[in-house]
């Protein structure tokens, strides 16, 4: 049967009488759309960084950072490919603060979390700030504009309007609401009734989430202003779980029809949804063809009991102009559900379209916003010619099978750059396990939480490419990956995902381009000690001309293997040498303990004689270089000033402060000036102590006529900066 709206209802649903519909219209409550929530006052922008500054007094744990005890973090979709990730809020005077950036344009959502001493976690927000996300009241949002996301930014002028419409639910017998977007220039007195699109929310979402996180208003406004959208009314609703068909067709649709000038024609009614809402949309299309002419499934599925006969398929094809499916990558919980739904319908003969697997993101708003943009621009447009995959999206030819629990040799990398981590059972009783690594945009350290699966902890991130270093943190305590038997001197493990463009010089070189990496042992000022020594692939111990040599130092708390196990120095050297970017040389990576203020006696009395006894290296100071990161950069600076004439080239990467300055009025100062060929300075921009140090060193070099190259890049006090420094430094040598 048909009700007064002209929309066909499924059999068994009670239609409202004409009198009831008039009464419903008189009871409808239309409210202007809520004003946009005020920006988070704890967030501010400085250059490419977003700084989050929380008064310590507002933190439930009253502590900063994140460790085995109490602390605080910010967490949100800041991780790779919008993975949910955490970052510690470090102490900054009376505040807890963190810098994140540079962030790519788009919408971010995040919350502040306090970790108590018992590892319980409490989300909190600025109490003066209004709630921005109805279904996640502790979340804040941050929109970063840019050309890439202009399609979901506010329009300058000419956009539509949003209001909330209340209606009486026939299922819950209570007043409920929907959000309604009307196009620019809409009036109820238009001669022609407008098509209407119903957008259903997923379980756990509110209908407002289409606006709060989905940016539906901005997407529709931009499509309308650009002429890519049919003039339509769009209704955002939650059909619930109890009886979604009755909620929609006996409650929402009549209320919308009573309040808005919308069409009752099948071809001018469309429906789409996310997850559960998508299931409701496609199951309605399958069970009762002819209710909606256009149907969209965003990360949808069919219930196990759903079957479609060939006769139903013919009716669906006859009544439905558009049936289009969308899905995220394998992180989408409904990846297989989408595959099974499309297979079920296609096998029955249903004509459908597929947008393709979104390669970058899973079942998240970053995917669904693009899906909405595509579907809304197609609805009520039978003239659309392109019915295939969106450019760059992949076909979905088979269900996804994750690596079986207990089968992973961590980490497992699939062909699309998705990386799965899984612990053993040794942390079965842990309260929380996270991945700590340089996942942040500029190499800062994010924590990505794992989910407990049986007695193991597991997560998948991606797609990612290039090199990362990481470790597990269990109840706030760092642990080396027990399955990593290659890198055993440092807590961090290495991860290199091929196929991308991130840090290509950090990839393993071809076998015939790989130099040799030796480990030497000796007894010195620090007791039993070791050094790593790299030699080029064509190293000749009998070469007539001895090789130049670089002594490359680690930082405080690190060790002789830090440059190779974390810093990928061997790979950098292999690749740069193979590409002809550096001269043949021997590179020595010594170790030390503690924080010595002078390394020269150990270097000259133990390390250099050891290396000379086993390698064909030059004694000529003009053929020697010294460099170091952090405290190693501090030691390099001290060696240049206090032991002049021993090296010709110096590299200082993020020294914490200046060790000494050249005094040209002394013989040592004159020697340093005469023998130093170049100084390379490198630091990350958020590493303010190091930036100050290299600025001071630069001033000293300039004052004394010494060639200096200074570079400040986006980044922290970490290896993402230091390997860039090494790459910049090496071609300047010899």
Of 523, 615, 197, 129, whose CA–CA distance to 374 is shortest?
197
Residue count of the chain: 734
pLDDT on residue 36: 56
pLDDT on residue 30: 59
pLDDT band at 4 (very low <50, low <70, confident <90, very high): very low
Q: Of the segments 362-376, 497-511, 656-670, which one has the largest average pLDDT value?
A: 362-376
Mean pLDDT of the chain: 92
Dump pLDDT digits (tens) for 133-163.
999 999 999 999 999 999 999 999 989 999 9
Q: How far is CA 253 from CA 20, 250, 661, in A?
A: 14, 7, 78
444 exposed, middle or buried (CB, 10 Å; 0-12, 13-18, 19+)?
A: buried
E strands present in 185-337: 196-200, 233-237, 269-274, 294-298, 322-327
Of 536, 423, 515, 413, whose CA–CA distance to 467 is shortest?
413
Using the predicted structure, report yes or no on whether residue 16 has a pLDDT greater than 50. no
Tokens describing residue 651: 């590299």
Look at phi and psi of residue 499 and say left if phi exceeds 0, alpha if psi is from -120 to 50, else beta. left
pLDDT on residue 71: 92
Using the predicted structure, report yes or no on whether residue 6 has a pLDDT greater than 70. no
Cα separation of 640 and 225, whole Å?
64
Cα separation of 582 and 574, whole Å?
10
Cα separation of 455 and 393, whole Å?
36
pLDDT on residue 32: 53
Using the predicted structure, report yes or no on whether residue 304 has a pLDDT greater than 80. no
Candidate from 44-48, 262-266, 462-466, 657-661 with smallest mean pLDDT = 657-661
Distance from CA of residue 687 to its chain's centroid? 22
Average pLDDT over residues 436-464: 94
Element (H, E) at 652: strand 649-653
Using the predicted structure, report yes or no on whether residue 31 has a pLDDT greater than 80. no
pLDDT band at 72 (very low <50, low <70, confident <90, very high): very high
Burial letters 323-334, b for 16+ CB under 10 A, else e: bbbbbbbbbbeb
220 or 309, higher pLDDT: 220
Given strand 90-92, what is the order of strands in its sheet? 43-46, 49-55, 95-100, 90-92
pLDDT on residue 69: 75
Q: What is the pTM of this model?
A: 0.90
Look at phi and psi of residue 207 and say left if phi exceeds 0, alpha if psi is from -120 to 50, else beta. alpha
DSSP state of 149: G
Opening angle at CA 549, ends 545 and 554, nearest 5: 170
pLDDT on residue 307: 82
Q: How far is CA 606 from CA 530, 533, 559, 600, in A?
A: 11, 15, 17, 10
Of the CA atoms within 13 Å of residue 657, those in its CB half-sphere come to 1
pLDDT on residue 14: 30
Using the predicted structure, report yes or no on whether residue 368 has a pLDDT greater than 90. yes
Cα separation of 436 and 449, whole Å?
9
- The answer to whether 135 touches 209, Cβ cutoff 8 Å, is yes
Using the predicted structure, report yes or no on whether residue 7 has a pLDDT greater than 50. no
CB within 8 Å of 464: residues ≥ 6 apart:
80, 81, 417, 419, 497, 500, 502
pLDDT on residue 39: 85
Of 156, 174, 279, 167, whose CA–CA distance to 226 is shortest?
156
pLDDT on residue 410: 80
pLDDT on residue 29: 54
Element (H, E) at 497: strand 493-497
CB within 8 Å of 532: residues ≥ 6 apart:
517, 518, 519, 560, 561, 563, 564, 588, 589
- The answer to whether 196 touches 235, Cβ cutoff 8 Å, is yes
């Amino acid at each position: 049967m048909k009700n007064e709206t002209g929309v066909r209802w499924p059999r068994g649903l009670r239609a409202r009488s004409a009198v009831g519909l008039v009464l419903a219209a008189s009871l409808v409550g239309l409210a202007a759309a809520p004003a946009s929530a005020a920006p988070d006052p704890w967030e501010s922008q400085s250059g490419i960084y977003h700084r989050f500054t929380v008064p310590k007094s507002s933190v439930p744990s009253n502590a900063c950072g994140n460790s085995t005890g109490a602390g605080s973090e910010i967490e949100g979709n800041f991780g790779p490919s919008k993975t949910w990730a955490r970052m510690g809020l470090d102490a900054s005077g009376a505040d807890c603060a963190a810098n994140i950036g540079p962030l790519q344009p788009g919408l971010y959502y995040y919350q502040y979390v306090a970790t108590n001493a018992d590892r319980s976690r409490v989300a909190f927000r600025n109490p003066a700030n209004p709630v921005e996300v109805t279904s996640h009241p502790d979340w804040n949002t941050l929109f970063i504009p840019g050309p890439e996301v202009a399609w979901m930014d506010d329009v300058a002028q000419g956009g539509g309007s949003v209001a909330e419409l209340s209606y009486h639910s026939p299922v819950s017998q209570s007043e409920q609401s929907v959000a309604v977007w009307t196009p620019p220039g809409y009036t109820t007195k238009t001669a022609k009734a407008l098509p209407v699109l119903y957008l259903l929310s997923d379980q756990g979402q509110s209908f407002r989430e289409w606006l709060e996180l989905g940016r539906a208003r901005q997407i529709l406004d931009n499509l309308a202003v650009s002429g890519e959208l049919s003039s339509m009314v769009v209704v955002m609703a939650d059909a619930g779980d109890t009886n979604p068909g009755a909620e929609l067709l006996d409650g929402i649709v009549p209320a919308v029809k009573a309040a808005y000038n919308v069409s009752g024609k099948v071809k001018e009614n469309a429906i789409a949804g996310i997850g559960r809402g998508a299931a409701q949309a496609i199951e309605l299309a399958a069970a009762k063809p002819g209710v909606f002419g256009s149907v969209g499934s965003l990360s949808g599925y069919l219930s196990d009991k759903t079957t479609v006969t060939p006769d139903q398929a013919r009716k669906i094809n006859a009544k439905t102009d558009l049936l289009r499916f969308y899905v995220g990558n394998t992180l989408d919980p409904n990846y297989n559900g989408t595959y099974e739904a499309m297979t079920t319908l296609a096998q029955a003969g249903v004509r459908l379209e597929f947008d393709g697997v979104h390669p970058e993101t899973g079942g998240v708003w970053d995917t669904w916003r693009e899906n909405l943009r595509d579907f809304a621009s197609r609805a009520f447009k039978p003239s659309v010619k392109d019915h295939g995959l969106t450019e760059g999206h992949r076909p979905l030819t088979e269900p996804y099978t994750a690596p079986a629990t207990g089968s992973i040799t961590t980490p497992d990398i699939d062909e699309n750059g998705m990386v799965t981590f899984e612990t053993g059972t040794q942390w079965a009783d842990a309260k929380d396990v996270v991945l700590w690594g340089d996942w942040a945009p500029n190499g800062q350290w994010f924590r990505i939480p794992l989910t407990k699966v049986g007695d193991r902890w597991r997560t998948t991130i991606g797609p990612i490419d290039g090199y990362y270093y990481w470790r597990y943190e269990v109840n706030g305590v760092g642990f080396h990956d027990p399955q990593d038997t290659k890198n055993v001197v440092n807590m961090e493990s290495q991860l290199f995902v091929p196929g991308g463009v991130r840090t290509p010089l950090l990839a393993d070189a071809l076998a015939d381009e790989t130099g040799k990496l030796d480990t030497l042992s000796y007894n010195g000022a620090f007791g039993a000690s070791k050094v790593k020594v790299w030699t080029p692939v064509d190293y000749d111990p009998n070469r007539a001309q001895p090789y130049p040599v670089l002594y490359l130092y680690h930082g405080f708390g690190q060790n002789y293997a830090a440059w190779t196990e974390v810093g990928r120095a061997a790979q950098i050297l292999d690749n740069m040498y193979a590409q002809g970017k550096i001269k043949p040389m021997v590179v020595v990576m010594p170790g030390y303990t503690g924080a010595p203020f002078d390394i020269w006696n150990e270097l000259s009395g133990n390390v250099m004689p050891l290396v000379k006894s086993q390698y064909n290296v030059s004694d000529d100071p003009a053929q020697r270089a010294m460099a170091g990161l952090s405290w190693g950069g501090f030691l390099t600076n001290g060696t240049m000033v206090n032991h002049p004439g021993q090296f010709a080239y110096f590299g200082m990467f993020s020294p914490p402060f200046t060790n000494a300055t050249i005094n040209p009025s002394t013989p040592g100062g004159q020697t340093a000036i005469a023998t130093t060929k170049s100084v390379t300075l490198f630091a990350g921009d958020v590493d303010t102590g190091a930036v100050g140090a290299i600025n001071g060193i630069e001033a000293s070099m300039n004052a004394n006529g010494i060639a200096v190259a200074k570079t400040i890049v986006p980044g922290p006090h970490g290896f993402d900066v230091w390997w860039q420094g090494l790459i910049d430094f090496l071609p300047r040598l010899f």
